Structure 1
Amino acid sequence: MFLLTALFSVIGIVLAVGGVWLLALDGSAYYAISGVLFLIIATLLKRRRSSAHLMYALLLAGSLVWALWESGFDWWPLASRMGLWLALALPLMIFVRRNAFQANKILLPVWIVCTALTLSPLAMQDPTAVEGTMANRVIDPDANIGFADKSEWRAYGRTNLGQRFSPVNQITVDNIDDLELAWEYQTGDTKGPRDVTETTYQVTPLKLGNALYLCTPHNWLIALNADTGEELWKYDAKVPAESQRQHQTCRGVSYLPPSDVDEASYQNVAVKVNQPSEQLEPVQCNAQLFMPTSDARLLAFDPTTGALCENFADAGVLDLMHNMPYTQSGYYYSTSPPLVANGRVVVAGAVNDNYDINSPSGVIRAYDVKTGELVWNWDSGHPDDTSPIGPDETYAVSSPNSWSVASADEELGLAYFPMGNRTPDQLGMYRSPAEEKYATSVVALSLETGQAQWVQQFVHHDLWDMDTPAQPVLLDLETDEGKQPALVVPTKQGDVYVLNRATGEPIFPITEEPAPQGALPGDFTAPTQPTSAVSFKPEPLTEAKMWGATPIDQMLCRIEFNSLDYEGRYTPPSEKGALIYPGNFGVFNWGSVAVDPRRQVMFGMPLYLAFTSKLVAKDGQDLGETNRGEQGLNENAGAPYAVEMGPFLSPIGIPCQQPPWGYVAGVDLQTGKTAWQHKNGTIEDLTPLKLPIKMGVPGIGGPIITDSGVVFMAASVDNYLRAYNIKTGTQIWQARLPAGGQATPMTYINSQGEQMVVQVAGGHGSIGTTIGDYVLAYKLSK
Structure 2
Amino acid sequence: MVIGITALVLALIGLAIGAGGIWLAVLGGSWYYVVAALGFLATALLLVRRRQTALWVYALLLVGTLAWAIWEVGFDWWQLGPRGGVIVLIGLWLLTPWVRRRLAGSGGATALGMAVLAALVVAGYAMTTDRYDIPGALPTEQVAAQPNLGGGAMPPGEWHFYGRTPFGQRYSPLAQITPENVGSLQPAWTYRTGDVRGPDDVTETTYQVTPLKIGELLYICTPHNWAIAIEAETGKERWRFDPRVGLEKDRQHQTCRGVAYHAVAGAPAGQPCAERVYLPTSDARLIALDAGTGEICTSFAEGGTLNLLANMPYADKAGYYYSTSAPLIAGGKIIVGGAVNDNYSTEEPSGVIRAYDAVTGAIVWAWDSGNPDRTTPLGPGETYTHNSPNMWSTASADEALGLVYIPLGNQTPDQLGMNRSEHVEKYSSSITALDLDTGQVRWVRQTVHHDLWDMDVPAQPSLIDITTANGVMPALVGPTKQGDIYVLDRRSGEPIIAVNEVPAPGGAIEGDFTAPTQPVSDLTFMPPPLTGADMWGVTMFDQLACRIELRRLRYEGRYTPPSVQGTLVFPGNFGTFNWGGVAVDPVRQVMFGMPTYLAFKSELVPRAEVPPPDEGRGSEQGLNRNEGAPYAVVMGPFLSALGIPCQAPPWGFVAAADLRTGKIVYRHRNGTVRDMTPLPLPFKVGVPGIGGPMITAGGVVFLGAAVDDFLRAYDLTTGRQLWEARLPAGGQSTPMTFEASDGRQFVVMVAGGHGSIGTKAGDYVLAYTLPR
Equivalent residue number for residue 54 of structure 2: 52
Equivalent residue number for residue 138 of structure 2: 134
Structure 2 matches for 1:612-651, cutoff 5 A?
A: 612-619=601-608, 622-623=611-612, 625=614, 627=617, 629-651=619-641
Question: How far apart are residue 45 of structure 1 and its match?
Answer: 3.3
Structure 2 matches for 1:46-445, cutoff 5 A?
A: 46-94=48-96, 95-96=98-99, 98-99=101-102, 103-121=108-126, 124-145=128-149, 146-147=151-152, 149-260=155-266, 284-327=272-315, 328-445=317-434
Equivalent residue number for residue 663 of structure 1: 653
Query: Would you say 1:24 and 2:54 are equivalent positions?
Result: no
Change (3 A) 1:358 1:691: same
Render the CA deviation track for 1:378-410: whole Å, top value 9, x for unaligned. 000000000000111011010000100110111
Determine helix, strand or coil for the equivalent of 1:436.
Answer: helix
**For the residues of structure 1 that align with 2:444 and 2:194, how far apart are their CA atoms?**
42
Render the CA deviation track for 1:224-278: whole Å, top value 9, x for unaligned. 110011111111121111111111111000000132259xxx7x9xxxxxxxxxx
Question: How far apart are residue 39 of structure 1 and its match?
Answer: 2.8
**For the residues of structure 2 that align with 1:154 and 1:87, how far apart are their CA atoms?**
58
Question: How far apart are residue 365 of structure 1 and its match?
Answer: 0.8
Render the CA deviation track for 1:592-620: whole Å, top value 9, x for unaligned. 11001011011011111111111111226
Q: 2:125 corresponds to which letter in structure 1?
A: S
Render the CA deviation track for 1:739-760: whole Å, top value 9, x for unaligned. 1111000000012211000000
CA contact (8 A) 2:355 2:366 kept: yes
2:513 to 505, 521, 524: 524
Equivalent residue number for residue 687 of structure 1: 677
Query: Would you say 1:711 and 2:701 are equivalent positions?
Result: yes
2:553 to 542, 557, 564: 564
Question: How far apart are residue 487 of structure 1 and its match?
Answer: 0.5
Question: How far apart are residue 733 of structure 1 and its match?
Answer: 0.8
Q: 2:760 corresponds to which letter in structure 1?
A: T
Determine helix, strand or coil for the equivalent of 1:497.
Answer: strand
CA contact (8 A) 2:94 2:100 kept: no
Structure 2 matches for 1:745-764, cutoff 5 A?
A: 745-764=735-754
**For the residues of structure 2 that align with 1:284 and 1:12, how far apart are their CA atoms?**
78
Question: How far apart are residue 628 of structure 1 and its match?
Answer: 5.0
Structure 2 matches for 1:726-737, cutoff 5 A?
A: 726-737=716-727
CA contact (8 A) 2:338 2:390 kept: yes
Q: 1:527 corresponds to which letter in structure 2?
A: P
Q: 1:512 corresponds to which letter in structure 2?
A: E
Determine helix, strand or coil for the equivalent of 1:365.
Answer: strand
CA contact (8 A) 1:82 1:118 kept: no
1:501 to 490, 495, 513: 490
Structure 2 matches for 1:568-607, cutoff 5 A?
A: 568-607=557-596
Question: How far apart are residue 781 of structure 1 and its match?
Answer: 1.5
Render the CA deviation track for 1:643-664: whole Å, top value 9, x for unaligned. 1111111111111111111111
CA contact (8 A) 2:204 2:618 kept: no
CA contact (8 A) 1:285 1:310 kept: no
CA contact (8 A) 1:284 1:311 kept: no
* Gap runs ≥5 in structure 2: none
Render the CA deviation track for 1:517-566: whole Å, top value 9, x for unaligned. 01111111000001111111111111111111111111000000000011
CA contact (8 A) 2:288 2:296 kept: yes
Question: How far apart are residue 354 of structure 1 and its match?
Answer: 0.6
CA contact (8 A) 2:208 2:734 kept: yes
Q: 2:89 corresponds to which letter in structure 1?
A: A
- Is 33-42 or 454-463 further displaced after alignment? 33-42
**For the residues of structure 2 that align with 1:261 and 1:396, how far apart are their CA atoms?**
38
Determine helix, strand or coil for the equivalent of 1:96.
Answer: helix
Question: How far apart are residue 679 of structure 1 and its match?
Answer: 1.1
1:609 to 580, 592, 598: 598
CA RMSD for the aligned pairs?
1.6
CA contact (8 A) 2:320 2:348 kept: yes
CA contact (8 A) 1:284 1:310 kept: no
**For the residues of structure 2 that align with 1:340 and 1:41, how far apart are their CA atoms?**
72
Render the CA deviation track for 1:177-236: whole Å, top value 9, x for unaligned. 111111111111111111111111110000011111101111111111100111111111
Determine helix, strand or coil for the equivalent of 1:538.
Answer: coil
1:554 to 516, 523, 543: 543
CA contact (8 A) 1:602 1:668 kept: yes
Aligned length: 763
**For the residues of structure 1 that align with 2:56 and 2:195, how far apart are their CA atoms?**
62
**For the residues of structure 1 that align with 2:754 and 2:610, how far apart are their CA atoms?**
34
Determine helix, strand or coil for the equivalent of 2:354.
Answer: strand
Q: 1:498 corresponds to which letter in structure 2?
A: V
**For the residues of structure 2 that align with 1:75 and 1:119, how far apart are their CA atoms?**
8
**For the residues of structure 2 that align with 1:682 and 1:615, how far apart are their CA atoms?**
34
CA contact (8 A) 2:301 2:362 kept: yes
Instruction: Please give the TM-score of this superposition, normalised by the length of structure 1.
Output: 0.95
CA contact (8 A) 2:260 2:278 kept: yes
Render the CA deviation track for 1:338-369: whole Å, top value 9, x for unaligned. 11111211110011111001100000111111
**For the residues of structure 2 that align with 1:534 and 1:611, how far apart are their CA atoms?**
23
Change (3 A) 1:621 1:597: closer
**For the residues of structure 2 that align with 1:322 and 1:50, how far apart are their CA atoms?**
82
**For the residues of structure 1 that align with 2:207 and 2:419, how far apart are their CA atoms?**
34
Determine helix, strand or coil for the equivalent of 2:169.
Answer: coil
**For the residues of structure 1 that align with 2:390 and 2:222, how far apart are their CA atoms?**
23
CA contact (8 A) 2:558 2:569 kept: yes
Question: How far apart are residue 737 of structure 1 and its match?
Answer: 0.7
CA contact (8 A) 1:631 1:644 kept: yes
Equivalent residue number for residue 510 of structure 1: 499
**For the residues of structure 1 that align with 2:226 and 2:704, how far apart are their CA atoms?**
23
Render the CA deviation track for 1:493-519: whole Å, top value 9, x for unaligned. 111001111111111111100000011
Determine helix, strand or coil for the equivalent of 1:554.
Answer: helix
**For the residues of structure 2 that align with 1:47 and 1:768, how far apart are their CA atoms?**
51
Question: How far apart are residue 98 of structure 1 and its match?
Answer: 2.6
Q: 2:94 corresponds to which letter in structure 1?
A: L
Equivalent residue number for residue 461 of structure 1: 450
Render the CA deviation track for 1:667-702: whole Å, top value 9, x for unaligned. 111111111111111111111221111111111110
Question: How far apart are residue 99 of structure 1 and its match?
Answer: 4.6
**For the residues of structure 2 that align with 1:611 and 1:539, how far apart are their CA atoms?**
15
Question: How far apart are residue 102 of structure 1 and its match?
Answer: 5.3
Question: How far apart are residue 41 of structure 1 and its match?
Answer: 2.6
Question: How far apart are residue 79 of structure 1 and its match?
Answer: 1.7
Question: How far apart are residue 3 of structure 1 and its match?
Answer: 4.4
- Is 402-411 or 611-620 further displaced after alignment? 611-620
Question: How far apart are residue 47 of structure 1 and its match?
Answer: 4.3
CA contact (8 A) 1:179 1:778 kept: yes
Determine helix, strand or coil for the equivalent of 2:608.
Answer: coil
Instruction: Please give the TM-score of this superposition, normalised by the length of structure 2.
Output: 0.97
**For the residues of structure 2 that align with 1:189 and 1:493, how far apart are their CA atoms?**
34
